[in-house]
């Protein structure tokens, strides 16, 4: 009798304390940037700037169809920055920012917390003056659809020890 009671209690504990199969947890990978690009020039060499984002902002692109929407009437294979994107394993973050002065930019990609990432665009502000539009992008390791991505455009910090 004690054995049956013990086994019944053990079975009850195992079934009520186990992992729930109905709640699937999404694994959020570490922040890995494969490639980045940024320019203020609208030249054939930088044809990725001709996209349908007309205001300052950015888009997280998870597939080729979404990328084609940003570049209507454009053959994506002609844009060198997009030729090697594998949307099965990679995500594209692309955007633009109107500025008063900038010559170049560098991108950094990091993980803020479990499901939140940030693309930081560090600006080199020495050089061009007057209104310009900075176009930037980063190809990163594939992010889950429910990941939160933000973009920060910051002036490049000057090393004060120089």
Query: Per residue in 59-113, pLDDT tens?
Result: 999 999 999 988 888 888 888 888 889 999 999 999 988 887 777 788 999 999 8
Query: Per residue in 7-46, pLDDT tens?
Result: 556 555 555 555 544 345 667 788 899 999 888 765 555 5
Pairing of strands 116-124, 148-155: parallel
Tokens of 130: 């007057």
Distance of CA 61 to the CA centre of its chain: 8
Per-residue b or e along 75-103, where b marks 16 or more CB atoms closer than 10 Å to that residue's CB: eeeebebbeebebeebbbbbbbbebebbe
- CA atoms of 152 and 119, how far apart (whole Å): 6
> What pLDDT, on the 0 to 100 scale, is given for residue 127?
58
User: Which residues does 71 contact at the CB level (< 8 Å), separation at least 6?
Assistant: 50, 51, 52, 79
> What pLDDT, on the 0 to 100 scale, is given for residue 23?
40
Could you tell me if 141 and 91 are in contact, meaning their C-beta atoms sit under 8 angstroms apart? yes
> What pLDDT, on the 0 to 100 scale, is given for residue 82?
86
H helix count then E strand count, the chain:
2, 7
- 45 φ/ψ angles, rounded to the nearest 5 degrees: -65, -30
> What pLDDT, on the 0 to 100 scale, is given for residue 78?
82
Per-residue pLDDT, averaged over 119-145, amounts to 82
Asked whether the predicted pLDDT for residue 125 surpasses 60, the reply is yes
pTM over 0.85: no
Tokens of 81: 């920055």
- CA atoms of 86 and 141, how far apart (whole Å): 10
Neighbours of 118 (CB within 10 A): 15
Could you tell me if 65 and 59 are in contact, meaning their C-beta atoms sit under 8 angstroms apart? no
Q: Name the band, by pLDDT with cuts 50, 70 and 90, for residue 117.
A: very high
């Amino acid at each position: 009798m004690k054995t049956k009671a013990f086994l019944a209690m053990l079975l009850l504990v195992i079934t009520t304390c186990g992992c729930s199969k109905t709640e699937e947890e999404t694994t959020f990978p570490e922040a890995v940037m494969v490639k980045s690009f940024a320019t203020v020039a609208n030249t054939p060499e930088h044809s990725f700037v001709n996209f349908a984002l007309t205001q300052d902002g950015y888009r997280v692109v998870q597939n080729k169809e979404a990328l084609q929407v940003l570049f209507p009437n454009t053959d994506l294979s002609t844009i060198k920055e997009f030729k090697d994107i594998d949307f099965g394993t990679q995500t594209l973050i692309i955007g633009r920012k109107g500025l008063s002065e900038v010559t170049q930019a560098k991108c950094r990609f990091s993980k803020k917390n479990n499901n939140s990432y940030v693309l930081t665009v560090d600006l080199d502000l020495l050089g061009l003056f007057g209104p310009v539009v900075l176009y930037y992008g980063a190809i990163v390791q594939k992010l889950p659809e429910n990941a939160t991505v933000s973009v920060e455009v910051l002036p490049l910090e000057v090393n004060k020890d120089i």
